[in-house]
Amino acid sequence: MPIAALDWEAASDMQRLWMERARRRSVLSKDDLAAGARIMGLSLTGQGRF
């Protein structure tokens, strides 16, 4: 399986995690957003290395 596909799955899992957190806290922390941007950026370029 290509790395990009694996990254996309991981990013989806992370998005679910953040949405779950957002529901509980009703706001994401700056750390959550920074991590999300980093993971999504890496995933979209297909160069994710966690």
7, pLDDT greater than 70: yes
pLDDT, averaged across the chain:
70
pLDDT of residue 11: 78
Residue with tokens 């980093």: 38
Q: pLDDT tens digit string along 23-43?
A: 776 566 777 777 777 776 766
50, pLDDT greater than 50: no
Mean pLDDT, range 9-33, rounded to an integer: 76
Q: Does 46 or 36 have the greater pLDDT score?
A: 36
The domain ranges of the chain are 3-45
